[in-house]
Structure 1
């Protein structure tokens, strides 16, 4: 292996569980429940319109979408001010560097969004490559983000491991030809995963070296 390509939202920092909680709370004000089946269509993608379409179709009173956007964004920002990186993630960054592996990020979010948190937590220096929605026409589950990442790393896809938290992200990584390890968060652990090389509960449970050894053993 020559590189590790990390997803960002939900993997490095769990922004997704707070988003779900915020939307769930906001939707209740309109008499609408938010099923995990609907939310799962959005995780790891840019499909937020699905949430708004569902709200408009099921609300028991008039919906001001601009107000919904502003309220959910404000609430999410407040929650994220107190959020920490996922347990064990910085150990993986440091271990990867000790093993001589290059690191990249492949995220369906915007570069501005990702860089804000990378700078906030002072972890931007770990990554050689950053690919976001700004760099591709189609985000996950399309493989473009991962294909661009390995291209810029100058390696073959099979020489990289993707670390993901969502089924759509894993689908993108596998379609691009990378090995894929999934580490679901509190929300994505409720979803079915297909065709991943390895799934673990937490990065604080096992070392990166062990993860890579398992991938090599199974391939």
Structure 2
């Protein structure tokens, strides 16, 4: 899996941290303020969108009067406490990040979330120092499944797309990595359990835990 890999790039939510449950809870609470129930298809429709793109979607679909910045600010306030106190790392993630550092393999984050929340959870979990390049889809023209964010992070790390291994938890993210010309490992997540077979077909590899990753380059 790690043969000829010079950089490992991670999505955040559902990939490095177990947080996808949180966003559904926030969507339910936020829409409830306006008298709406969460549509069953909504999570699928916003999959891969950046925080900014999702705010546009909510504003247009539900005729929300708040500005886009106000919508994002509200979501961030709702999420900040959960990220700090309730969201855990995925099994084996910390150990894998430490190992990558030991091996001299570069690392980056390519998230659809907002940068403030990304930095909040990375610092809360004590793993910020292990991630060299942290960027979000709000910084590029198109969110996932477009390859923009993965190409951006690879460029900041000074590596070629074919030298990158991506970890993702949902089909749109997997497609973003593949569209960037990178190898992709799908990560098991309860939130996307109903998409497991689709994820396996799209990705080059599939893991339930980072502990499963062969450490071919591990020094004795």
Report the TM-score when normalising by structure 1: 0.78
- Aligned residues of 1:24 and 1:34 also touching (Cα < 8 A): no
> After the TM superposition, which residues 74-85 of structure 1 pair with which residues of structure 2 at under 5 Å, given as runs?
75-80=78-83, 81-85=85-89
- Provide the residue aligned with 1:153 in structure 2: 157
Structure 1 counterpart of 2:215, from 209, 213, 218: 209
Local SS of the residue matching 1:145: helix
> After the TM superposition, which residues 132-171 of structure 1 pair with which residues of structure 2 at under 5 Å, given as runs?
132-171=136-175
- Provide the residue aligned with 2:22 in structure 1: 18
- The alpha carbon displacement at 1:54 in A equals 4.7
- The alpha carbon displacement at 1:126 in A equals 0.7
Q: Distance in 2 between matches of 1:24 and 1:68?
A: 14
Deviates more, 1:158-167 or 1:6-15: 6-15
Aligned: 1:174 with 2:181: no
Q: Distance in 2 between matches of 1:21 and 1:64?
A: 21
- The alpha carbon displacement at 1:169 in A equals 1.0
Report the TM-score when normalising by structure 2: 0.77
- The alpha carbon displacement at 1:113 in A equals 2.0
- The alpha carbon displacement at 1:125 in A equals 1.0
- The alpha carbon displacement at 1:180 in A equals 0.3
Aligned: 1:32 with 2:41: no
- The alpha carbon displacement at 1:71 in A equals 7.1
Q: Distance in 2 between matches of 1:134 and 1:65?
A: 19
Q: Distance in 2 between matches of 1:51 and 1:65?
A: 10
Q: Distance in 1 between matches of 2:138 and 2:58?
A: 22
- Provide the residue aligned with 1:50 in structure 2: 57
- Provide the residue aligned with 1:60 in structure 2: none
Deviates more, 1:168-177 or 1:15-24: 15-24
- Aligned residues of 1:161 and 1:179 also touching (Cα < 8 A): yes
Structure 2: any 5+ residue segments left out of the alignment?
A: none
- The alpha carbon displacement at 1:69 in A equals 7.2
- Aligned residues of 2:135 and 2:149 also touching (Cα < 8 A): yes
Q: Deviations over 1:82-136 (max 9, x none)?
A: 2221221101101212332111111222322211222222211112222223532
- Provide the residue aligned with 1:107 in structure 2: 111
- Aligned residues of 1:92 and 1:208 also touching (Cα < 8 A): no
- The alpha carbon displacement at 1:53 in A equals 4.7
Q: Distance in 2 between matches of 1:43 and 1:176?
A: 18
Structure 1: any 5+ residue segments left out of the alignment?
A: 57-62, 213-219
- The alpha carbon displacement at 1:170 in A equals 0.9
Q: Deviations over 1:37-92 (max 9, x none)?
A: 32122133124243455555xxxxxx776898787655544433222212211011
